[in-house]
């Protein structure tokens, strides 16, 4: 018999894995060409050409991906498959993050999604 606290934690981990398992199974460390955004972890599935960003600290409104221009095909949250809009930064003023022309900006919901650690799935070109 497990302690109730352990059972609760295992249940939470199981719930997270139900939706975010693809960011773990079959994945490895992301290639060095993909810069890790602040307060996040990257995993990579080379067979599916998918990159996963595990958001340890949820950013407010947007996330700048340095050097990702021309590498992205589609972006979504893994827990509910909701699409995440993205754009390059040419002509935009993101002075706080100082992006360059090779960067992509993801537009995130203001309110953090329900999972403790939300995961963004990027389908690469």
pLDDT reading at 7 higher than 70: yes
pLDDT per position as a tens digit, 16-52:
889 999 999 999 999 999 999 999 999 999 999 999 9
Domain boundaries, the chain: 4-124
CA distances (Å), origin 50, targets 9, 25, 42, 45, 46: 28, 12, 10, 5, 7
CATH class held by domain 4-124: mainly beta
pLDDT per position as a tens digit, 47-86:
999 999 999 999 988 999 999 999 999 999 999 999 999 9
pLDDT per position as a tens digit, 81-122:
999 999 986 544 444 455 678 899 999 999 999 999 999 999
Greater confidence (96 vs 8) lies with 8
- Give pTM, 2 decimals: 0.86
Q: What angle do CA 46, 69, 122 make, to 5 degrees?
A: 40
Helix (H, G, I), strand (E, B) or coil at 21: helix
pLDDT reading at 12 higher than 90: no
Neighbours of 94 (CB within 10 A): 12
Helix (H, G, I), strand (E, B) or coil at 100: coil
Q: Binning pLDDT at 50, 70 and 90, where does residue 1 land?
A: confident
């Amino acid at each position: 018999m497990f302690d109730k606290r352990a059972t609760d934690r295992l249940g939470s981990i199981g719930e997270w894995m139900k939706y975010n398992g693809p960011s773990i199974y079959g994945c490895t460390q992301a290639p060095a060409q993909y810069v890790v955004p602040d307060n996040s972890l990257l995993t990579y599935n080379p067979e599916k050409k998918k990159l996963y960003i595990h958001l340890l600290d949820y950013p407010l409104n947007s996330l700048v991906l340095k050097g990702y221009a021309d590498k992205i095909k589609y972006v979504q949250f893994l827990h509910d498959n909701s699409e995440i809009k993205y754009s390059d930064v040419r002509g935009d003023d993101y002075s706080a993050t100082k992006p360059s022309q090779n960067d992509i900006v993801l537009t995130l919901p203001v309110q953090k999604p329900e999972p403790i650690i939300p995961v963004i799935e990027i389908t690469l070109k």
